[in-house]
Structure 1
Amino acid sequence: MAEEAEAAPCFLDKFQSQRYPGAFTPESWEQEFDEIPMFMKKSPAEIDPEQNPALACLQSIIFDEDLSPEEQANTYKNEGNDYFKEKNYKKAVISYSEGLKKKCSDQDLNAVLYTNRAAAQFYLGNYRSALSDVITARKLKPNHLKAIIRGALCHLELKNFPEAVAWCEEGLRIDSKEKKLVELRAKADRLKRAEQRDVRKAKLKEKKEQSQKEVLHTAIKERNIKLFLEASEKEDEISDGLADMCLNGFSSDSAMGTKVYLDENGNLNWPVLFLYPEYGQTDFISTFHEDSRFIDHILVMFADLPPWDLESKYHPSNLELYFEDEAREEMYQVNTENTLLQVLQHQRYFVKAGSPSFLVLVKHSPFSENYFFGKKVHRLK
């Protein structure tokens, strides 16, 4: 007994001093623990089986190549279903795809694989891929109700409302009490009717706008107001009369976001831009009635001196109004007692970008003299 008592401490000392074969190391025990298939935190698809013999062994049992294509496909289907339950839809798609690669002869199983993959694709937002899968599933199994429901959902997400209704009706011919299809058909039919209503409204609106454009075009043409053409057009074609205008282009918003329009009395109201080149400033009148005089607007705009007029020289009595003929490099002075219509009807005035514009300069100022240098100036009565 004494000898045994003496041997026990020796054995314990040896056990403590020597590492147990296969034991975890203190520094990396967590990593080693994760490599045991039963306790893995990562998906097997993320791990190279060659680096983990235990995992390779398990996978060879699960996906045994000696199994029939039907058995292998079914195994992948179950694996995909597990991923699907975990909401790991990307991995589910991979598993279902692997099952389909086995090309088994069980068409019902293949239909299920396509339908399940469609469900995973649907939750990934890949509606067209999902729809393609359910269409294939129905070719294999025409009365596969889950495929029909998934196809109706895909059409709904793709805003193919008539097609969604059609799929629902096909499914209800198979099972008239299928609650999901009844709900989907009601929703798709409601959205289809709303879409059709919106299309009708859009067409009526387009027709009304086109009619208004034509009326506006006629009003401008009757007043002999000329519109600026692109540089590619010949100048003599412009001066011969009113240039043909693109209704869509002309009636689009001007730079300041307003349009010329006819009021209830049949009068044109224009967005007009005033430019002050000396200071790089502008004024904008969104609604300038064609029968309004320029002086009336100038008196309102310069009732108080603008803050940028540091020399206090922009008094209404000191101002002159011009428009520029860029093609001829000529300036035309506007009589401020004239109305907007009178000026727009001038033979050398062309409305550009749907918004008439005019230059405002101070009489006899050094800037004005320099601005006029090299240009011919015409005084309008």
Structure 2
Amino acid sequence: MASSEAQYDSDDGMDEFMDKFKTQRYKNAFSENNWEEEFNKVPMFMKTAPEEIDPNQYPELACLQAIIHDEDRTPEEIARSLKDEGNVFFKEKNYQKAIVAYTEGLKKKCGDQEVNTVLLTNRAAAHFHLGNMRSALNDAAAAKRIKPDHLKALIRGVQCCIELRNHAEALQWCEEALKAHPTDKKLLELRAAADKHKRAAERDARKAKAKEKKLHGVKEALLAAIKDRGIKLLQPVKSGKRGSDSEDEAEGSSAAISELSLDGLSSQEVTGAQVFLDEQGSLHWPVLFLYPEHQQSDFISAFCESNCFMDHLGVMFGEELPPWDTDRKYHPQNLQLYFEDEKTETLRQVHPETSLLKVLQHKRFFVKGGTPSFIILVNGSPFKKQFLSGKKTQGL
């Protein structure tokens, strides 16, 4: 078995080169002093071809020459040449071209398993740097199948699993790799990191499950409280259903009410508030007051069911009246409240001293969108007479 140090020195020393490359400035850019010399290295612009072609000095020309003379070379020689070409692109951080070169090398299906292992491992590295973690993992796994103790393939496989948040699989890779390289520092560090991530993920999953269970319990208690009070929630009309069907369903059965945790209590998405059950067992509802005469509205985010309407009207229209009330007529004692019975097209008047719960329990009241709403008019005003003209009205 090859030592860890020997394994690190294989694969053309790319990792060592990259570590050193990060600390240096890019040296391959053309400058005013060397642009003619650099242009002369590009096959298209060469004035004269060199007598001897060094692949490190003339990689593009070496590649062209290799293509021309492919018929004279074995698949192993061509694969090694393509591997060298890919390494040049890799060192220049041109990972896409490196992948193309390594892929072409693998297509030669040479019999040298060491070359194939390096091609797969290096292509995995290029995919890894591009963020193609699944492709990188597949290449690392293929390299491991050829050479199970190949250190760089094993390390790359662990890194990919961690990036893919598959920490259990990362630990499995580590355990297999450490059998071949029990003292490798990098593998030990990766195993510790994978184990830490796995425990953190399991902890987060437990917290999420506990939170979900708690929220489910809260929703169940809330729906039970609504059902026990006989309050009817009107579901949004679904495609293909008429409004009257939906109302009949909401009014008719407790089974329909039990399904309304998602549909009938949807006000939070629109208003930011939703009915809730306090520690004393009282329901608090978001309530909307509409003033059609002025096209204004008021929103109460938590109207306790035991409070009467006058409790809130006395605050909203107390000493200071709203600026839109230019005639100064919206005094609590002058106001009349109504809710709309959509099915019978009737406006039902609510006495201001009535509690919210009593109104919600009325047989013709349906909570729509999770938010009870009420119309407020000024008694004796011309607008009230006009607004109610042609409409049926009825008291509780």
TM range, smaller chain: 0.7 to 0.9
Structure 1 residue 365 displacement after superposition: 2.6
Maintained 8 Å contact 1:213/1:251: no
The answer to whether residue 354 in structure 2 is matched with residue 354 in structure 1 is no
* Equivalent AA in structure 2 for residue 210 of structure 1: H
Q: Is 1:61 equivalent to 2:43 in the alignment?
A: no
Deviation at 1:238, TM superposition (A): 4.0
1:121 shift after superposition:
0.7
Structure 1 residues 329, 53: closer, same or farther in 2, change over 3 A? farther
SS in 2 for 1:244: helix
- The answer on whether the counterparts of 1:226 and 1:349 sit within 8 Å (CA) in structure 2 is yes
Q: Where does residue 298 of structure 1 map in the other structure?
A: 313
1:245–1:230 CA distance, 2 compared to 1 (3 A): farther
Tell me if structure 2 keeps the 8 A contact 1:330–1:375: yes
Helix, strand or coil for the counterpart of 1:169? helix
Deviation at 1:236, TM superposition (A): 4.2
Q: State how 1:125-136 maps to structure 2 within 5 Å.
A: 125-136=131-142
**Residue 33 of structure 1, CA deviation:** 6.5
The answer (yes or no) to whether the contact 2:234–2:246 under 8 Å persists in 1 is no
**Which segment drifts farther, 353-362 or 171-180?**
353-362
Scaled by the length of structure 1, the TM-score of the pair is: 0.83
Q: Report what 1:117 is aligned to.
A: 123
Corresponding residue for 2:346? 330
In structure 2, the residue matched to 1:278 is: 293
CA offsets, 1:269-302, max 9 Å, x none?
Answer: 1111111222222211111111101001001011
Q: Taking structure 1 as reference, are residues 165 and 96 closer, same or farther at Cα in structure 2, changes over 3 Å only?
A: same
Alpha-carbon distance between aligned partners in 2 of 1:121 and 1:174, rounded to the nearest angstrom: 25
Deviation at 1:251, TM superposition (A): 4.3
For structure 2, which runs of at least 5 residues remain unmatched after alignment? 1-33, 50-57
Q: Distance in 1 between the 2:392 and 2:107 partners?
A: 83
Is the contact between residue 226 and residue 241 of structure 1 (CA under 8 Å) also seen in structure 2?
no
Partner Cα distance (1:236, 1:264) in 2: 33
Counterpart of 1:151 (choices 157, 161, 169) is 157
Three-state SS of the structure 2 residue aligned to 1:248 is coil
Summarize the Cα distance change of 1:80–1:57 in structure 2 as closer, same or farther, 3 Å threshold: closer
Unpaired runs of 5+ residues, structure 1, are: 1-29
Match for 1:271: what amino acid? P
Q: 3-state DSSP class of the match of 1:258?
A: coil
Q: Which amino acid aligns with 2:65?
A: I
| Percent identity over paired residues | 52
Contact 1:35 1:52 in 2 (8 A): no
Q: Tell me which of 358, 364, 378 is aligned to 2:380.
A: 364
Q: Which amino acid aligns with 1:368?
A: K
| Deviation readout 1:203-241 (Å, 9 max, x if unpaired) | 111111111111111111111111113443354444446
Q: Secondary structure at the match of 1:113?
A: helix
| 8 Å Cα contact 1:227-1:245 kept in structure 2 | no
Letter in 2 for 1:96: Y
Pair 1:36-2:40 in alignment: yes
**Count of matched residue positions in the alignment of Structure 1 and Structure 2:** 343
After TM superposition, give the deviation of residue 52 of structure 1 in Å.
Answer: 9.3
What residue identity is the alignment partner of 1:69? P
The one-character-per-residue Cα deviations of 1:97-138 (angstroms, maximum 9, x if unpaired) are: 121122211122111101100001100111111111111112
1:159-197: CA deviation from partner (whole Å, max 9, x where unpaired): 111111111111111111111111111111111111111
Structure 1 residue 364: deviation in Å? 3.0
**Cα distance, 1:374 vs. partner?**
2.5
**Distance in 2 between residues matched to 1:237 and 1:36, nearest whole Å:** 83
Are the aligned partners of 2:234 and 2:264 in contact in 1 as well (CA < 8 Å)?
no
Alignment correspondent of 1:20: none
When residues 330 and 135 of structure 1 are mapped into structure 2, their CA distance, relative to the original with a 3 A threshold, is same
Larger Rg: 1
Q: Distance in 1 between matches of 2:266 and 2:48?
A: 71
Aligned-residue Cα RMSD (Å) equals 2.5
Matched, 1:75 2:89: no
Assess if the C-alpha contact under 8 Å between 1:118 and 1:129 holds in 2. yes
Question: Aligned ranges for residues 114-193 of structure 1 at < 5 Å?
Answer: 114-193=120-199
Cα distance in 2 for residues equivalent to 1:206 and 1:200? 10
Q: Which residue of 1 aligns with 2:215?
A: 209
**Aligned counterpart, 1:321:** 337
**Cα distance, 1:356 vs. partner?**
1.2
Q: In structure 2, how many angstroms separate the alpha carbons of the residues matched to 1:253 and 1:167? A: 49
Cα offset, 1:95, TM superposition: 1.7
Other-structure match for 2:24 = none
